[in-house]
Amino acid sequence: MASGCVVALALACRSRAQQPTIPAATLIVLHATRLLQVATGTLLQPGEILVEGDHIRMVGASVDHPPTARIIDLGDATLLPGLIDAHVHLFLHPGAEDLQTVEESVPWRTILAEQAARADLLAGFTAERDMGTEGAGSADSAVRDAIDQGLIPGPRLRVSGNAIDILGGHEDAIHFNPAQHILSNADYANSIEQLIAVMRAQHKEGSDFAKIYETGPDRLIDGELHTPYQYTEVQLAAAVEEAHRLGTGVAVHAMGEPGTLYAAQAGVASIDHATQLSDETMRLMRQKHIPAVPTFAIFEYFAEHAPSPAAAARERALLDYKIREFKRQIAAGIPFAVGSDVGPFPHGTQARELELMVRYGMKPLAVLQADLIQGAKLLGWEGQIGQLKPGYLADVIAVPGNLLEDISALERVSFVMKGGVVVHQ
């Protein structure tokens, strides 16, 4: 009997989690000069959306205007789905990343994460994937649940808890005095057995997927990227198999070969950063529909905010290398999703990522499709978000002018609706 009560309570909480912060108006009509149909690139002129509760009921150049509907005229703007950022760090802010995790308490970092989530939502990002709390454990589950229950504003979230790393690996406090025993920003797993144990523990604490560090540190030598792998293909495949058992997936931090190849062979959900991809890796990514998540915005930020001229030169050289490789990846026809790695740079500014992907070779519509259609798939919300279609959740934003002609309009979001609730106008 007690077990049944627990299940009933869990289902009740999940039901409440779908309710918006403020009760949505029964009927709302959104009107603007344009509406973008992302799948086809068609611009409806004008464009209208009839929202009923938290879902879209009608979309077209003209929709029904029920007598009780609230009419919102957004003028010379383009309506499109709420943006998706597939690589964020809500628990980081600008400044020394390693010192944040040592000097700031988890409660304090959680408060900052709430503020970060709000900033991202107001900037038009209505869904995000948090790629590791950097030492704050499952605190991101609490932020996600608080958003779902309407206690705080923020995007829909998929969360991983801590990332997973080997001893002495990418996030293992390797620059501190060993005698002080500074904790890693990730959870240790040095074998298949440990990978599975860590993933099960994180899943118990509320993670939606596993984030694994597959490469690091990164060095350019004679113009080529060198980055040691951390897990073998066999180890990653075991993690992917366990994730599938749990009904989740594995995303990897993987800058270059051979780690990117091992990730593709293992069938991960996404390869994040993906600076160096061999022909074979790209073939597997096409075959298995594994998207690359380039994260240009963080590379640009580090190049422009380096602590010394020498560091700036190194960061700039890495960014230049990444741009050249990105052009190869576009030509190879691999799938992409959009993630900015926001956190080390200010939350709410990450629409810059879409602008950079256009600058470095993708068409505006292709970038929007990567963000919205591929992003919805990657976050497990395909058929619910990422397009303006009847039956989809009413996550809608508006930007000035025609963003197919000026993608930077995404940095000037003038209207945000999440689940039928207007959160910014």
Is 175 a domain residue? Answer: yes
Total structural domains within the chain: 2
Say whether both 109 and 219 belong to one domain: yes
Picking from 342, 358, 378, the residue at the C-terminal end of a domain is 378
Is 109 a domain residue? Answer: yes
pLDDT of residue 26: 81
Is 383 a domain residue? Answer: no
Give the other-Cβ count within 10 Å of 148's Cβ. Answer: 19
Assign residue 36 the CATH number of its domain.
2.30.40.10
Residue 20 has pLDDT above 90, yes or no: no
Of the chain, the percentage scoring pLDDT greater than 70 comes to: 94
pLDDT of residue 280: 98
Q: Which residue has the higher pLDDT, 170 or 368?
A: 368
Domain that holds residue 135: 83-378
Say whether both 76 and 109 belong to one domain: no
Token pair recorded at residue 287: 């075959």
Is 88 a domain residue? Answer: yes
- Cα 211 from chain centre: 12
Using one digit for the tens of pLDDT, what is the confidence trace for 82-117? 999 999 999 999 998 888 988 999 999 999 999 999
Cβ contact 89:81 at 8 Å:
no
Say whether both 97 and 46 belong to one domain: no
Say whether both 355 and 403 belong to one domain: no
Region for 254 from its dihedrals, namely left if φ exceeds 0, alpha if ψ lies in -120 to 50, beta otherwise: beta
Residue 16 has pLDDT above 50, yes or no: no
Say whether both 151 and 266 belong to one domain: yes
Cβ contact 352:408 at 8 Å:
no
Q: What are the residues whose beta carbons fall under 8 Å from the beta carbon of 90, sequence distance 6 or more?
A: 113, 116, 117, 120, 128, 130, 133, 140, 143, 343, 347
Say whether both 197 and 178 belong to one domain: yes
Residue 168 has pLDDT above 70, yes or no: yes
Q: What is the mean pLDDT of residues 221-231?
A: 96
Assign residue 358 the CATH number of its domain.
3.20.20.140
Using one digit for the tens of pLDDT, what is the confidence trace for 356-397? 999 999 999 999 999 999 999 999 999 999 999 999 999 999
Is 405 a domain residue? Answer: yes
Say whether both 398 and 356 belong to one domain: no
Cβ contact 110:148 at 8 Å:
no
Say whether both 230 and 335 belong to one domain: yes
Token pair recorded at residue 396: 């809608």
Q: How far, CA to CA in Å, does 39 sit from each of 42, 44, 82, 380? A: 8, 13, 14, 18
Provide the pLDDT confidence category of residue 174 given band limits of 50, 70 and 90: confident
Say whether both 371 and 404 belong to one domain: no
Is 209 a domain residue? Answer: yes
Residue 74 has pLDDT above 60, yes or no: yes
HEC profile for the chain?
Answer: CHHHHHHHHHHHHHHHHCCCCCCCCCEEEEEECEEEECCCCEEECCEEEEEECCEEEEEECCCCCCCCCEEEECCCEEEEECEEEEEECCCCCCCCHHHHHHHCCHHHHHHHHHHHHHHHHHCCEEEEEECCCCCCCCHHHHHHHHHHCCCCCCCEEEECCCCEECCCCCCCCCCCCHHHCCCCCCEECCCHHHHHHHHHHHHHCCCCCEEEECECCCEEECCEEECCECCCHHHHHHHHHHHHHHCCCEEEEECCCCHHHHHHHHCCCEEEECCCCCHHHHHHHHHHCCCEECCHHHHHHHHHCCCCHHHHHHHHHHHHHHHHHHHHHHHHCCCECCCCCECCCCCCCCCHHHHHHHHCCCCHHHHHHHHHHHHHHHCCCCCCCCCCCCCCECCEEEEECCCCCCHHHHHCCCEEEECCEEEEC
Say whether both 180 and 230 belong to one domain: yes
Is 121 a domain residue? Answer: yes
Say whether both 394 and 306 belong to one domain: no
Residue 415 has pLDDT above 60, yes or no: yes
Of the chain, the percentage scoring pLDDT greater than 90 comes to: 88
Is 118 a domain residue? Answer: yes
Say whether both 24 and 163 belong to one domain: no
